[in-house]
Each structure stands twice: as C-alpha cells, then as structure tokens.
Amino acid sequence: MKVTKKDMENVAVLSRLDIPADKEAQYTQQLNDVLEYFDNLSAVNTDDIKPLAHVLPISNVFREDVVKESLDRDLALSNAPLKEDGYFKVPKVLED
Amino acid sequence: MKLFEQPAHVLHDMLVNKEITSLELTEAVLARIDEVEGDVKAYLTITRDEAIAQAKAVDEKIARGETISFLEGIPGAIKDNICTKGVKTTCASKILQNFVAPYDATVMTKLREQNPVIIGKANMDEFAMGGSTENSAFQKTGNPWNTDCVPGGSSGGSAAAVAAGTAVWALGSDTGGSIRQPASFCGVVGMKPTYGRVSRYGLVAYASSLDQIGPITKDVTDCAHILNIISGRDEMDSTSVNEEVPDFTKALVEDVKGLKVGIPKEYFVKGMDPDVEKTVREAVKKLEELGAEIVEISLPNTDYAISTYYLISPAEAATNLARYDGVSYGERAEDAADLVEMMTKTRTQYLGEEVKRRIMIGNYALSAGYYDAYYLKALKVRRLIKEDFDKAFEQVDVIVCPTAPTPAYKIGEKISNPLEMYLQDACTVPLNLAGLPGISVPCGYSSNNMPIGLQIIGKALDEETILRVAYTYEQSQSFHNDRAQLGGN
C-alpha cells in the first residue's frame, strides 16, 4: 500500500473531515488504487516543461477600484446557519 | 411531433405565427412532467407557478404585437449548480439543501433578458462530481431511453429533461465532460464552449480552471442560438475572454467540403464498446462522403489525460469546497465544542462520499511531500496535452472522436468502483485540460437501442467550425428527429 494510515489521518485533518472507523479501510484502498493509477504520469518526461495552471494567455486582470452596488447585507446573511445583529455567528474562537 | 418534442426554433416560429401560445406550450411541458417525471426524476425543483406566470406574460406581449426574442416563452431547465435568484440552488448536495441563491448567475441574467420560461432546477452529481448523476444526494435520474440506465453526468438531469420532453432546452456545466457525455447518453446535443467564452459568475465552482457552462438542446440549431445568448465577456469573471462573440447561427451551413477532419488514433483503443466504435466510424465515413478530408492524427499524451485531470480537478475542488464550513451559508452540524470541530462535523455530515473522496485526493496531491510528484507533475503534463492539440490543429480544422467509450450503462453498475468511473471520461477530459470547445451530436444507437454521441472538437474560440460540422452531419441524418419512447410515447 502506498497510502499509510498516517497519510489518511493527515489528509482527513487537511480536509476537515472525519473518517469513520468502518470506512477507513475502504477509503484508504480507494485512494491507493487511484494514486497507483496516477503513477502512469511518471513515464512522461517533463524536464524543462513549464506547468500549465490555466489555458488562457492572461495574467493580471485589472479594473478601476470603484464602489459599485453589492449584495444587500440581509440578503448576504439570508443563508447563514446562525446570525446575530447583522453578523455571522460561530462557536467561540478565542479563549477567555 | 407533440409540442414538448419540438426543438426551440420550431416552437419560436409557432409562437411568432400565433399557432400556439406560450401557455399552451408550458402546460404541455408541465403535463409531460406529470406523465413521466416519476420515472425520469430529472428535476430537483419545479417552479410551476412562476413558469405559468412567465408564459402568460409572454402571451400578453405577443398579443400586444411586440416582437419576441428566440427563447421567449419557451420552457427550459437549469442545472442546479447555476445560481437562480430566489430559487433553491443545491448542487444536489445536502450541505446546500436549503440554499436559496441571493443573486443570479450571469448566464441567468442574460437568459432572463430573453424571457424564457424556467421550468426548474435539474438534478446532477453532487457538486458536478461524477458521470452518472448517481452521486446526487437526493435522487437517481433515469435515462429516458431506458430508465434502468443512467443519463450520464454530471448534467444528467439537464440532458434527461431535454430527452424526455420535460424541457425544450437546458443549461449544463462541463468540467470533464459533464455536458457532452450526458448529451451522448441521452441522444441530445450538448456543447462545452471554449474556456472563457461563457461567464462562470454564479456557477458554483468545482474546478475553476476547467468549468464551463453550455447548452443542452434537441438539435444543433438550438445549440447555436443559446450559445449566442450566454456568451461574452463579463467583468464579474476575470477569466471570461474579451473577444467579440460572432453570430453562431451563421455557422449553421450545410457544407464541410474541403474541411480537414482529424481522427485521433488514441481515441479508438482498448475498452471501447464495439457499437460505439462502429457508429462513430460510420459517422466519419459520412463526413467524408459529404466532402470533408479525413486525416489520421496523433495526440500522443492522451493516455495521461485521466491522471492529469483527476489530480488537477480534485486539487482545485479541495480548495473551492473549503468554503462549505458551516459559517456563511449551507448547513451546520450541531453540538460542536469549538470552531474546527463544528467545521469538521458539518463537512462530514453533509458532504457525500464522492465529494469527500475528491477533496481528499486533492488535499493529498497538494500536501507537503507530494505536491511536486502529483500536482506539479500534472500541471506539466497538462501543457503537453494542450501542445498535442496545438500541433494537431496545425494540420486539421476539427477533430472527431467518440464522446464516451460506452453507451449508457445500468444504474448501480459502476458506482462502487471510483477508478472505473474515472476511466469513462477518457474522451472528454482532454478538451477541458486544453480549454477547447467540443460538441456531442447523436450519431446512432447501440445494439440495445441506447444513443451514441459523436464528439467534434475545435480550436479555441472556433465554436463556429464545430457547429458547422455538427450541423452538416446532423442534417444528413435523422437522429435529431428521434425521441425516447416514454410514457404515452
């Protein structure tokens, strides 16, 4: 196996996901199968090839920094699971 | 043909000539929904009352003697990852099950200027991740040609609705084939425009460097008309290209004489269904008879496209889907002790298995120690794949190949094996990696009477030539007049 238990735990933390104990073996196996397949890329010579993140020949797209109409605050908050006084409400972040 | 079976351009003429009203048409489509939607399950939301109101408004306009635009009064479906103001936009995910879009996607703003009738929001694979619509958190859509089979995906609801006559036209989105492959499976026309041709503002992001919105229609003529409506530069999407949009309907010309059509040998290899190969080869022969010059070409890095795509798209997805954290919108899990636990519980509880799998693949490929070997390597191979096309298009005007290696398969047949599902995308993902436009048009049937699609690939921003080839081929055949036998017909 390419993917270790530790790899899976690390990926779960990065992904903010819990992997239930009864799914761990299945997820590890599936990730492993996919990664083993991806290894076909190692056959490709990519020396001196620049990575292509984006197909368009554009870099920075600038615009004037002017105030325009934006989403109304109540509308922006309308899908919030929890809100108070015009703010999103989350569990306490800072210690007392 | 019944009203709900007609393409939009025929219905438009009937509306203009006052042979029908938009209300009659809309009621015919809604009655068709009552008849077959229980088997097809193409829709997640049906906005019946709004549809009727829209239709009546158009009829009043016609009665006043005003001219109407192409889609005016004609019922369509919108994939549920395209934001529709005031209407649920769930991406077929539990995490957005109550999300009501607070604004319209740019494509919706452009569509609404035409006053179409919006019938509802179409089912899809959750967050557009999948090729069968089986990854929807809410329901499995049936293929109108055989409801035991998948409609393809991820825009399976959009394609199934058009094929079933529960929508005249639809919008889908295509990240790795998600418009073209369901169009192929459902016997309809689907186009992925050039990356940047259509604004992505308001399209819920899956893989931002690959995503593109496009039409799913009953024929190539409707495809060209809808592409006219949705294309163009949008300042809300900095990757939308600042190029003049031609009138795509001018490309609807029956003439391929002298056009060079490339046939990539790498697309006709192992694992391809023999019916698909035979049907596509017959279509190529037909193009030759119509005057095209057939040229065998090579796209040597094709074998690496699946790996490249399934590293880049999950990496982008892992980043894009980090926003589903239970804070600003979407569901939130209860009983969490702190912020991180709240986010983790929310995502674990409300995201589906395939979405989780891709987020984990993406984070793995992006994580320290693996970034160079996986993500960076994939970006380099992406350039090689794009260069393959650049070289091929020095020799040919379009490239023709199958849209999918198989016709639609049975619901449940492949879903348990993620890698096998990924391999199904071999013919479609290279275009997304290279940013090129592609169209799928019906080109025949398998031995068990399931539709097969022909994919026509063009140069960047040259949708006109692929529309011309698609139209010429379509008009030489009658597949676009065939309809799935379902319900009363």
Cβ atoms within 10 Å of B285's Cβ, excluding its own: 11
Q: Where are the domains of chain A?
A: 5-42
pLDDT digits (tens, 9 = 90+) for B351-401: 999 999 999 999 999 998 999 999 999 999 999 999 999 999 999 999 999
Q: Please, are residues B197 and B173 in contact by the beta-carbon 8 Å criterion?
A: no
Q: What is the mean pLDDT of chain B?
A: 97
Judge whether B102 is closer than 8 Å to chain A, CB to CB. Answer: yes
What pLDDT, on the 0 to 100 scale, is given for residue B75? 98
Poorest-confidence range of A22-31, B170-179, B316-325, B400-409? Answer: A22-31
Q: Which residues, other chains included, contact A29 with Cβ-Cβ below 8 Å and sequence gap of 6+? A: A1
What pLDDT, on the 0 to 100 scale, is given for residue B271? 77
| Domain B3-251+475-481, architecture per CATH | Alpha-Beta Complex (3.90)
Under an 8 A CB cutoff, do B435 and A49 touch? no
Q: Please, are residues B417 and A86 in contact by the beta-carbon 8 Å criterion?
A: no
Closest C-alpha to B122, from B213, B200, B19, B59: B213
A residues 26-85 closer than 8 Å to B (CB): 27, 30-31, 33-35, 37-38, 40-42, 44, 46, 49-56, 58, 61, 63, 71, 75-76, 78-82
- Averaged pLDDT, B451-468: 98
- Averaged pLDDT, B124-139: 98
What pLDDT, on the 0 to 100 scale, is given for residue B404? 97
Long-range own/partner contacts, residues B83-90 (CB < 8 A, 24 or more apart): B83/B108, B83/B202, B83/B203, B83/B204, B84/B108, B84/B118, B84/B121, B87/B45, B87/B47, B87/B121, B88/B44, B88/B45, B88/B121, B89/B121, B89/B204, B90/B44, B90/B45, B90/B121, B90/B138
Residue from the list A31, A56, A79 with its beta carbon closest to the beta carbon of B329: A79
Cα angle B145, B458, B202; round to 5: 70
Distance in angstroms (rounded) separating the CA atoms of residues B33 and B29? 6
Q: Tell me the pLDDT of chain A (96 aa) as tens digits.
A: 789 989 999 999 999 999 999 999 999 999 999 999 999 999 999 999 999 988 988 888 888 999 999 999 999 999 999 999 999 999 988 877
CATH 3.90.1300.10: which residues of chain B? 3-251+475-481
Q: Please, are residues B263 and B349 in contact by the beta-carbon 8 Å criterion?
A: no
Q: Which residues, other chains included, contact B338 with Cβ-Cβ below 8 Å and sequence gap of 6+? A: A91, A92, A93
pLDDT digits (tens, 9 = 90+) for B278-308: 999 999 999 999 999 999 999 999 999 999 9
Report the percentage of chain B scoring pLDDT > 70: 100
This complex has an ipTM of 0.95
Minimal C-alpha gap between A81 and chain B (Å): 6
Could you give the residue numbers annotated as active site of B? 79, 154, 178
Indicate the length of chain B as a whole number: 489
What pLDDT, on the 0 to 100 scale, is given for residue B269? 74
What pLDDT, on the 0 to 100 scale, is given for residue B489? 60
Distance in angstroms (rounded) separating the CA atoms of residues B23 and B28? 8
**Residue A88: strand, helix, or coil:** strand
B residues 154-193 closer than 8 Å to A (CB): none
CA-to-CA dists, residue A16 to A43, B46, B333, angstroms: 33, 34, 13
Which residues does chain B have within 8 Å of residue A49's beta carbon, measured at their own beta carbons? 380-381, 383-384
What pLDDT, on the 0 to 100 scale, is given for residue B471? 98
